[in-house]
Structure 1
C-alpha cells in the first residue's frame, strides 16, 4: 500500500493537470484501504471526494481526461466497477478513436480486487475477464514485482483508458518482499521468478496470485523436486505474448482468481496455442476459483478461491500428463 500511495503522491507532484477522484478518499479517512492517505492535504484542489456513484465519478474522470487532464478514479471495491461499465466501455474507451482522429485519454480506473479478506460475495470478486478484448481499453494488475510509479507512467503513456486491478491482499504486504529462494528479474513489463536452469513447468499469473504461486513453487521444489518458473506480466491486456515466449517450458499453466469462462487465462492460452502448440506437451492448463459466490467465513472462502494447494495440485497433474 505504501508504494502505491507514494506513486499517487508522485503523480500529483509531477503532473499539475492530474486529479484523483473517488468515494471517501479525502483525509483524514484516506480511502477504504488508506491508499489515498495524505493526498487531499497536499493537493486539496485536485483530490475530489465524490458522491456514492461509480458511474458519475468515472464519467467525470473521463471528461477531465477528454479535455487534456490526467484522471485517476478509485472504485472503493472492484466489484462496483460493474456500475461504471457504461462510462468505461461505451464512452471512455471509444473516445480515443471515435472523433475522426486519435484523441489521447490519460485515465486510470483503480479497482481493489479479490478475496482473502472475508468481505463476502459482493466485495471480493476478480472481474478482470469482463474487460478483456475491449478496443481502446488497457488492463493492468498490481504486483509485488512492479514499482507502481513505473506502472502508472506506463499506463498514462499509452494515452488510453486503463483499468488497474489491485489485489487487496497486496495492500498488507511490503513491495518486493517475496520468497528469497527464487531469483526475480524484470524484462520490460514482464517479471520472472525462478531458479537457475530450465524449469519443469511454467506458471503465468497476474500480480495478485504471486505469493500463492511462490508458495506452491516452494512446496513443489522441496517435496517433489519439481522446478517451476513464474511469469507475471504487469499489463494483462493487450497481452504482450511475444515477451512470454523465451521463458516457456513444454508444460504451462495460467493461474487466476476469477471463475472459469471467457477469462484472461483463456486469452493467454489461445495466444500461446497459436504460436507454440508444437512445443507443448499438452494444452495450456487453466486454474480458476470455484464457480460459486465467495463466502465471508474464512474456512469456506478458502474452499472457493485459488490457493497454494490448488496451484501445487494443478502443476503435478499437468506434469503427469
Structure 2
C-alpha cells in the first residue's frame, strides 16, 4: 500500500516531533505556538500538549525571544525558535548578526550557540507587502550562520535532526509559506519526467535531469519554493519547445555548495538562477559571482537571473502573480537566450 500523502507542514511537524523525542535538550519558542492554535501555519500543532515544559509561547518581541534562545543555547540547550512570518526576522537581526553568530568566534571556540531559527518566507498567498517577503539574502553574508532552505524533495527528518541536534553553528531555516500546503514528496528517484539525484552533503542539494536523455542544455538553479517554479518551467520547455532542462534545488545557501553547483552546470549551454527575493544583491547575484570565480571557463554565456519585481508585493492575486516569478517568466527568459530555442 502506498504511503498516505502528507503536506509539507505536516512533514515539518513530524520532523520537529522526532527531534524532540530524541533529545530532551530541545526547546521551541515563538508566538502563538501553543495548542489549540499551533502556530500561524499549524506547524507546531500538538507539540505543546506533549511537551508543555519545552514548548514556550512568548510575548510579541522577536528580539527578546531570540536573545533568550541564545542564552539557552550557551547553557547547553538545543533551542528552536519560530518567527511567525519571515518578514518579522528583521526585528531579531541584531541578536543574530551581533550575538548568536559571534559568541563562538569571540570566545575562540570555547562556547557554542546552536540556535535554530525557522522563518516562513515567500508570497503567493495574498498577505501583502509586509507578510510576503523573501529576506534570506540579507543573512547569507553573516559569518558563522548556516542558511538552509527546505524543499519538497529533502528528507526533512534528517534535515531538521542535523541542524537541531548535531550542528554546532546557528542556523536559519527557510520554509516557504506557499509550500506548507503542498504535497511532501521526500526522497525519490523519479519525479514526473525527471530523474532525481541527491548531490553533496550533509544536507544535499537535489538535481533533476530529464529522464529521456539524462543531459540538459539549460540548468535552472533555485531553492525552496522556487524549485517548484523551475520544475514546472523545465517540463514545459522540454514538452513544448524540446529544450532539455535540468533543475538544481539547493539545500544550502550559506555556505554555498560550490562543488555541486560546478558539477550541475558542466556541459550545459545556459544557466538561469530563479529566486523569489528581490534582484539587487540577491541569492542569484551571489551564485553568479561564485560560479564566475570558480568555473568561468565552463560558462558558455552570462548567467541570467529571474527574481521578483522591484517594489512592494501586492495583495491582489493577479498583481501578486505578475510581481513574483513564475514558470512563464522562466520560460520566456530561456527562449530569449541565444543558442537555446
Structure 1-normalised TM-score? 0.97
> In the alignment, which of 241, 247, 250 is matched to residue 230 of structure 1?
247
Question: Compared with structure 1, are the counterparts of its residues 292 and 320 closer, same or farther at alpha carbon in structure 2 (3 Å cutoff)?
Answer: farther
- 1:169 aligned partner: 178
Q: Secondary structure at the match of 1:136?
A: coil
TM superposition shift of 1:20? 0.4
Distance in 1, Cα, partners of 2:232 & 2:162: 29
> In the alignment, which of 296, 302, 319 is matched to residue 277 of structure 1?
296
- 2:223 aligned partner: 206
TM superposition shift of 1:317? 2.0
- 1:218 aligned partner: 235
- 1:50 aligned partner: 58
2:195/2:214 contact within 8 Å kept: no
- 2:208 aligned partner: 193
Distance in 1, Cα, partners of 2:339 & 2:307: 19
The 4+ residue runs of structure 1 with deviation greater than 6 A are: none
Q: Which runs of 5+ in 2 are unaligned?
A: 1-8
Deviates more, 1:174-183 or 1:112-121: 174-183
Distance in 2, Cα, partners of 1:256 & 1:299: 19
Distance in 2, Cα, partners of 1:266 & 1:320: 23
Which whole-Å deviations, capped at 9, do the CAs of 1:214-239 have from their partners, x for residues lacking one? Answer: 11111111111001100111111111
Q: Which runs of 5+ in 1 are unaligned?
A: none
Provide the aligned C-alpha RMSD in A.
Answer: 1.4
How do 1:103-182 residues align onto structure 2 when only pairs under 5 Å count? 103-156=111-164, 157-176=166-185, 179-182=191-194
Q: Secondary structure at the match of 2:115?
A: strand
Deviates more, 1:205-214 or 1:110-119: 205-214
- 2:273 aligned partner: 254
Structure 2-normalised TM-score? 0.91
1:139/1:162 contact within 8 Å kept: yes
TM superposition shift of 1:288? 0.7
TM superposition shift of 1:147? 1.8
Q: Secondary structure at the match of 2:285?
A: helix
Question: Compared with structure 1, are the counterparts of its residues 17 and 277 closer, same or farther at alpha carbon in structure 2 (3 Å cutoff)?
Answer: same
Aligned residues: 321
How do 1:3-82 residues align onto structure 2 when only pairs under 5 Å count? 3-82=11-90
TM superposition shift of 1:179? 4.9
